[in-house]
Amino acid sequence: MTAPLPKRIIKETERLQSEPVPGISAQPHDDNARYFDVMVEGPGGSCYEDGEFKLELFLPDDYPMCPPRIRFLTRIYHPNIDRLGRICLDVLKNNWSPALQIRTILLSIQALLGAPNPEDPLNEAVAKQWKENQPEAIRTAREWTRLYAKKG
Amino acid sequence: MKFGHEYEQALASEGFPEQWLGSAIDYKYLKKCIKKVHRELEGLGLDKETIHRLSEPLSQPENARRPSIGQHDFYSAEKPHLDSIPEEFTPQLRVLVDSATGVPLDAMLAPATRARLQKLAQSELIAARRQAHLGHHATHEIHEPATMELTKERTNSLTPDAQDAKWITIPLASAKAFFDLLGPKLEELERLREAETGKLELEIADLGAAVENVVEPVKDGFEAKRQVSYRDLYYWREMFRLYLENPIFYSNLEQNAGALTFSEAKSRLEAYDQQLRSTGLLAKMKTPAAKQAAKQFLDLNVDILKIIRFQEMNARAMSKILKKFDKRTHLEGHQFLMDLRTKYPALLPSQPVPGQKPTGGTVGFANSIARDLHAEITSKVLGIVPQIDDWTCPVCYSMAWRPVSLGCCRSLYCIRCIIKLQDDGHARCPTCNADTVTKADGRNIDFEAMDFLEKYFPLETKRRQKENEKADLARSYGEEFVKPGCEVM
Ligand SMILES: [Zn+2]
Ligand SMILES: [Zn+2]
């Protein structure tokens, strides 16, 4: 017998639907209310602009004592995101707080797209390129966005 | 014609108090005034084309260097004196002429107008006679320095024989009559706003006391005697929750904050009334006092709508009549409106910031009435019945029970959530990140908050207590000892 869904998850899900964040959506699976299909739009003005990035998000049993597990499904050229789509973001690790929510985490991820940080890399190769030849790195990021994250 | 008719009809048929109607803007009469202004201007040879020409640039290259001062700047005061705008306001035309010949220095004047202006400049008599006719309002010596300055500035940049230029002013008696009618009306409307807002604030305070009385937390054994039912507390909470979700005349939503127009507000109030009926909330109220207070709450909203409606219509009448004034006389009456806005900050919301979405739909004094009274209702009436959303634990989103305060910030947590945080090795407050979780213990229970929650959320408290008992059992004896199927709600 599965445990009933905690009130917190029910409320968060409700609010994600009733007051959606612009440029972000998160839809729980019918058969697993802890598993979400996520879509994040690349922020305007960044090299991910006009891209639509798919992610998967899972709320472990311990949530909100531990952070949601989340990764990119769409390929993305970014120094803090590795080839498996794993994300290097402090609030998903040491700086997680149970008062954070799905919505705030997704906003942080969107912000990370707007401000890549090659000094704290997860993807060494991309970070290296980013530091040594930023215009080229940005061009590649745009190219990948066009190739893999096309809208529609 | 269309608006004038609609306006008169609304004033006559919508049951406004007699006293208010005396303060209403006399639209028809002002329209007649505008006709007079029009005739006076024509009498001066200042028809539409002439006035337009007066404000047209002399020639293109010179235009580029031209200071941005309206040539028929008929408004006498350079800087409005805040206390005396309606008194000192004297509509007039100002035209720059050659001081020797009286020939207007502006190009493209019709010959007839030139002759007219020439006469005006040469004959002090005409001006004096006009001023005597108008009384002291039409004199404007006080503004002489400003006029001189203008003269210099303009002539330096425009004409070689600068010293010979001077301004002459043509007071407009009929235009003055127009503004003399409009000015005091606005003062009356502002006084009406103040008086009615004051009255409604008293009503709100009164209602606050009534609501407090019917929802006052039930004390043991007291209920029967005081004819108070804790159920009423829940009905009121729901009633106010619905109101907060969809406020009637003022919106707090980030997307479009501000006062709503009368018609929006009216349909919201109708929808709210309908909601209270369809949910049976009104019918469910247990005590006569609660029923009475509910009626009072709805009546208050109706009263607020009425004054909003009245002020909104007057604001529209004012705006329409000033537009008409501009259109018929080609004098910029809106300067008057802008100065009034400085004098009566309550009159109109500040001009929208470019690039920002304009907020608020309604106009005139109605806007500040809606804003002020919404704030008043929120704090003095709605605030009496606490909403559960203000008392939930940031970790589990249920009512914080038993409430624990860590002392670092104002957050209240459930004691069980804090224990869980400690068990999981979280040392920091989830809300403010202070290092307070590890050393929290029984002394952090907020008994005052606990007392409050017990009183105002008796059902939620019972539910949480049951849950805790069950969890304690499970903790002591294992999950299988908790009888399944006796879930409370
Ligand atoms: Zn804190
Ligand atoms: Zn809690």
Q: Is residue A21 part of a domain?
A: yes
- pLDDT at residue B301 tops 90: yes
- Report residue B64's pLDDT band, with 50, 70 and 90 as the boundaries: very low
Given this model, what pLDDT does residue B95 score? 63
- The helix (run of H) or strand (run of E) holding residue B94 is strand B92-98
| β-sheet bridge partners, residue B171 | B92
CA of B439 to the centre of ligand 2 (A): 18
Chain A nearest-CA distance from B219, in A, is 30
- Which of A9, A21, A33, A88 is flagged as catalytic? A88
Q: Mean pLDDT throughout B334-341?
A: 63
Given this model, what pLDDT does residue B108 score? 46
- The helix (run of H) or strand (run of E) holding residue B37 is helix B27-43
- The pLDDT > 90 percentage for chain B reads 34
Given this model, what pLDDT does residue B170 score? 65
Of A53-57, A98-102, B200-204, B285-289, the least confident: B285-289
Chain A residues within 8 A of B427 when measuring between CB atoms = none
- Report residue B94's pLDDT band, with 50, 70 and 90 as the boundaries: low
Given this model, what pLDDT does residue B155 score? 36
Q: Which of residues 89-108 of A touch B (CB under 8 A)?
A: 97-100
- Report chain A's mean pLDDT, rounded to a whole number: 93
Whole-number Cα distances in Å, B433 to A71, B60, B446: 26, 66, 20
CA of B375 to the centre of ligand 1 (A): 29
In terms of CA atoms, which chain B residue is nearest residue A64? B395
Chain A nearest-CA distance from B13, in A, is 42
Given this model, what pLDDT does residue B422 score? 94
- pLDDT at residue B486 tops 60: no
Given this model, what pLDDT does residue B239 score? 93
Q: Pick from A8, A11, A97: which is nearest to B430 by CB? A: A97
- For residue B458, how far is the Cα from the chain centroid? 39
Q: Is residue A94 part of a domain?
A: yes
- pLDDT at residue B75 tops 70: no
How do residues B98-148 score in pLDDT, each as one tens digit? 666 666 655 445 555 556 666 555 544 444 444 444 433 333 333 333 333
How do residues B408-438 score in pLDDT, each as one tens digit? 999 999 999 999 999 999 999 999 999 999 9
Given this model, what pLDDT does residue A132 score? 93
Q: Mean pLDDT throughout B28-33?
A: 89
How do residues A115-128 score in pLDDT, each as one tens digit? 999 888 888 889 99
Given this model, what pLDDT does residue B65 score? 35
Q: Would you put residue A5 in left (φ > 0), alpha (ψ -120 to 50) or beta?
A: beta
Q: Which residue has the tokens 């269309």?
A: B2
Determine contact: A3 vs chain B, CB below 8 A: no
Q: Coil, strand, or helix at residue A123?
A: coil
Q: Which of residues 428-467 of B touch A (CB under 8 A)?
A: 428, 430-431, 433
Kindly list the structural domains of chain B, giving each domain's residue range(s) and its CATH number in brackets, ordered by start.
55-84+92-171 (no CATH), 178-384 (no CATH), 388-488 (3.30.40.10)
Given this model, what pLDDT does residue B254 score? 57
CB within 8 Å: B397 and A8: yes
Of A5-14, B168-177, B243-252, B478-487, the least confident: B478-487
- pLDDT at residue B34 tops 90: no
- Report residue B79's pLDDT band, with 50, 70 and 90 as the boundaries: very low
Q: Is residue A124 part of a domain?
A: yes
> Cβ distance B451 to A92 under 8 Å?
no
Given this model, what pLDDT does residue B257 score? 73
Gyration radius of chain B over CA positions: 34
How do residues B308-337 score in pLDDT, each as one tens digit? 999 999 988 888 888 888 787 766 655 666
Of A149, A84, A62, A65, which is closest to residue A113 (Cα–Cα)?
Answer: A149
Of B7-11, B348-352, B394-398, B430-434, the least confident: B348-352
- Report residue B377's pLDDT band, with 50, 70 and 90 as the boundaries: very high
More confident residue, B343 or A40: A40
Tokens of A140: 């590649």
Chain A residues within 8 A of B396 when measuring between CB atoms = 6-8
Chain B nearest-CA distance from A17, in A, is 16
How do residues B261-275 score in pLDDT, each as one tens digit? 899 999 999 999 999
Q: Pick from A8, A62, A66: which is nearest to B396 by CB? A: A8
Of B119, B161, B168, which is closest to residue B144 (Cα–Cα)?
Answer: B168
- pLDDT at residue A142 tops 60: yes
In terms of CA atoms, which chain B residue is nearest residue A4? B487
CA of B391 to the centre of ligand 1 (A): 15
Least distant ligand from the CA of B427: 1
- The pLDDT > 70 percentage for chain A reads 98
Q: Is residue A95 part of a domain?
A: yes
Chain A residues within 8 A of B428 when measuring between CB atoms = 97
How do residues A69-126 score in pLDDT, each as one tens digit? 999 999 999 999 999 999 999 999 889 999 999 999 999 999 999 999 988 888 888 9
More confident residue, B243 or B480: B243
Assess whether A88 carries a catalytic annotation.
yes
- pLDDT at residue A13 tops 60: yes
- Report chain B's mean pLDDT, rounded to a whole number: 74
Q: Mean pLDDT throughout A9-28?
A: 94
- pLDDT at residue B32 tops 80: yes
- Which residue type is seen at B3? F
> Cβ distance B362 to B374 under 8 Å?
no
CATH of the domain at A85: 3.10.110.10
Structural domain tally of chain A? 1
- pLDDT at residue B353 tops 50: no
Q: Which residue has the tokens 């929006």?
A: B264
How do residues B178-199 score in pLDDT, each as one tens digit? 878 887 888 888 899 999 999 9
Please provide residue B243's backbone torsions phi and psi, each rounded to the nearest 5 degrees. Answer: -65, -45
Q: Is residue A55 part of a domain?
A: yes
Chain A nearest-CA distance from B144, in A, is 55
DSSP state of A60: -
The model's pTM: 0.72
Q: Is residue A2 part of a domain?
A: no
Given this model, what pLDDT does residue B129 score? 41
Determine contact: B470 vs chain A, CB below 8 A: no
More confident residue, B169 or B58: B169
Q: Is residue A93 part of a domain?
A: yes
Q: Is residue A56 part of a domain?
A: yes
Determine contact: A20 vs chain B, CB below 8 A: no
* Domain hosting residue A66, numbered range: 7-148
